[in-house]
Chains A and B, each alone.
Chain A
Amino acid sequence: MKIGVLALQGAVAEHIRMLELAGASEARTVKKVDDLHDLDGLVIPGGESTTISKLMHKYGFMEEIRKFGLEQRPIFGTCAGAILLAKRINGQDDAHLQLMDIKVERNAYGRQKDSFEIKLPIAGVASDFPAVFIRAPYIMEISDRGQVLAKHEEKIVAAREGHYLAAAFHPELTEDYRFHKYFLEMVKEYRS
């Protein structure tokens, strides 16, 4: 199973480490669109969504990752990655990849001093997952095809829609690789 991590900016090395711990046979960085072609799945990491988006446009990733998603290859977005996957962003006219049918609110919990961590139950993953929220978004709306995996104070913070997976928090900043394992299971499912 070959998994790529989009490496334009953000917490790339952490995702690679977690994917390896979770049992991916190969986890590698994706810096150019050519790096996408033989991957079974893709992670879009946390970072600054405006920065990553600008670089994605510049290097032709918008089209190529859309194609990647439409070919039913799984994509996992964390924090900024979830914003990039979303079809709609609250208060903005355009969204980025527009692959996953969710609406997100950016910086939904306030500024950095309001960032927090908490143990949350995540459906199909864990009953006590350490969730680290950093200037995090949340998911305001989800389609009928989507499945809510976790909520915090009534707000959706993790969800799945077919081969798309989104988390508002950062599983890559912990030592707990169960969320990455869940994604690898998804990849396995869609590969066969």
Chain B
Amino acid sequence: MSEAQVGTTRVKRGMAEMQKGGVIMDVVNAEQAKIAEAAGAVAVMALERVPSDIRAAGGVARMADLSIVEEVLKAVSIPVMAKARIGHFVEARVLESMGVDYLDESEVLTPADDLYHINKKEFTVPFVCGARDLGEALRRIGEGASMIRTKGEPGTGNIVEAVRHMRTVQAQIRKVQSMSYDELMAEAKNLGAPYDLLEYVHKNGKLPVVNFAAGGVATPSDAALMMHLGADGVFVGSGIFKSENPEKFARAIVEATTHYTDYELIARVSKGLGTAMTGIEISKIREADRMQERGW
């Protein structure tokens, strides 16, 4: 019998595979975490503030208060994720040491490094990272990310940016797949993508890790739309606990994600939900305040 190995690529990517077809929900305390678990979330993201509140509060957004993370870890049996600032490998190590199951190196927080992301290969715990296009996705995977999500525009309740990012990645994958081998190196240069990962995309027509939707999902129909566009699952940030009836919204988004092609079912679960979170039109956000521009 061989030795058991922890933190291998297969174990880290496999964890994300198990989340497929599911909804990951942002929570800020144990009570919300329990509501999310009871509604059928596949994981919760433990935060101090949901993105819309981070946006409203301004200032520097850092890793959450660790007592909140601990409270959420104790409250639920489903996996718990937490966010570290871009490049802040100490925040990431601290969260890893607490037993967080998955880390999000996230543009929702204020970046700690304006040049480099975390070397995620060094960690036992898996990472998810945001991406707006194929080059960005493959750079993050090259650094060791085990899961990719669209960036969208967090905390807006506006799905348009997530749609744009998902469509961009999918269109670029189709393009790379149809290229001849001779064209791949130049395309790697154009996209700023590691060559070996681009070669994988060319051969397999998909990313080597799962790709979730995030950033602006506010309704069951938003979640189903992202699944149609090729998402493997959905992150919902402010969309649940900033809605009128979080419990109902959470359950409805879970069902719409599973049955995204069943429109009668989506109609049924969407009735009587109350008001969704208030949205923000993207053009009303100053460029400097757009979280999706963070990351290199």
Contact = CB atoms under 8 A, between A and B. Distances in A.
Given A111-B101, A116-B5, A51 B15 contact: no
A114 interface: yes
A120 B11 CA distance: 16
**Most central of A7, A9, A13, A55 by chain B CB within 10 Å:** A9
Given A12-B20, A47-B22, A135-B101, A117 B8 contact: yes
Given A51-B42, A116-B11, A9 B37 contact: no
A186 interface: no
A114 to B, nearest CB: 6
B5 A118 contact: yes
Contacts of B99: 110-111, 113
A132 B21 contact: no
In this complex, the member of A8, A50, A120, A134 whose beta carbon has the largest number of chain B beta carbons within 10 angstroms is A134
A15 to B, nearest CB: 11
B11 A115 contact: yes
B220 to A, nearest CB: 14
A31 B19 contact: no
A107 B73 CA distance: 13
B212 to A, nearest CB: 13
A149 to B, nearest CB: 15
B259 A50 contact: no
A50 B40 contact: yes
Contacts of A135: 15, 18, 79, 101
Interface of A: 7-14, 31, 46-48, 50-51, 54-55, 58, 79-80, 106-107, 110-121, 128, 132-135, 152, 170, 173-174
A115 B172 CA distance: 33
A121 B4 CA distance: 13
A56 B130 CA distance: 31
16 contacts: A7-B21, A9-B20, A12-B20, A47-B18, A51-B22, A51-B42, A106-B77, A110-B99, A113-B101, A114-B6, A115-B11, A118-B1, A132-B10, A134-B11, A134-B14, A134-B15
A50 B3 CA distance: 31
B11 A11 contact: no
A117 B10 contact: yes
Given A106-B77, A121-B1, A112 B42 contact: no
B259 A31 contact: yes
Nearest to B126: A112
B175 to A, nearest CB: 23
A71 B41 CA distance: 32
Contacts of A120: 1
Contacts of B20: 9-13, 47
B255 interface: yes
A51 B11 contact: no
A158 B197 CA distance: 35
A51 B6 contact: no
B78 interface: yes
A12 B101 contact: no
Contacts of A112: 15, 79, 101-102, 125-126
Interface string B38-75: 01111100000000000000000000000000000000
B2 interface: yes
A54 B258 CA distance: 12
B77 A50 contact: yes
